[in-house]
Amino acid sequence: MEVDVEISRRYPVTVNSPDFVRFAQKTTETLLGPGGYREVRAPMMGAEDFSYLLQKWPGAMFFLGVKPEDPALAAPCHSNRMLLNEDGMVYGAALHAQIALDFLDAGFRGA
């Protein structure tokens, strides 16, 4: 058997700006309270087109906790079995809006 392998690098690594993470963390804790922000325990290796934006402008990718109340119903993102607690979506919308408002109001000057 012969095989030709071609590796194409389509998406660059998604790298959060540490300054923007701190900026958004502060907004999150102000809006949602001290327990509203949790750091991901370990880096993730997923490919994401958001990485192109982060090459041009400081920012960060965050996850919104919308796991179903019953842990047995939790399935991975992008799974056809994925269910989410839609009550959490309002917090995500509010958080996006507040980060944008804080960004425009105070001005983010991170690298």
Catalytic residue IDs: 11, 86
Give the number of other CB atoms < 10 A from CB of residue 24: 23
Q: Are 82 and 76 in contact (CB under 8 A)?
A: yes
Distance CA 43, CA 38 (A): 13
